[in-house]
Structure 1
């Protein structure tokens, strides 16, 4: 499955700070319980990538392949 593959799988996504000074992205769905912790600098990099992807999607442009 790739980034452009459609799926009928549903999941919940939560993002927030932990009491340990980390940022947690938590994904929960049928058969999935996935907490992922990132230090604040890593979380900022992820946020920048999300913003860049959202801008490309909003503009209707196709992103460059790596």
Structure 2
């Protein structure tokens, strides 16, 4: 599956700080859990990528 392939999958997404100073992205879908921890620089890069993608979509509308 690629980024442009549509899916009917449902998932829960949680994002927040951990008690060890990391930013955690936690995804749960169909009983599978994925926990990803990022340092602050990585988390800021991810946030910038999300904002840039959202801006591109907003421009295309």
Measured against the shorter chain, the TM-score band is over 0.9
More helix as a share of residues: 2
The match for 1:55 is 55
* Structure 1: 4+ residue segments shifted above 2 A: none
Scaled by the length of structure 1, what TM-score is found?
Answer: 0.88
Scaled by the length of structure 2, what TM-score is found?
Answer: 0.94
Q: Between Structure 1 and Structure 2, how many residues are aligned?
A: 61
Instruction: Give how far 1:21 is off.
Output: 0.1
In structure 2, runs of 5+ residues without a counterpart are none
In structure 1, runs of 5+ residues without a counterpart are 62-66
Q: What is the DSSP-based 3-state SS (H/G/I as helix, E as strand, rest coil) of the residue aligned with 1:21?
A: coil
CA RMSD of aligned residues (A): 1.1
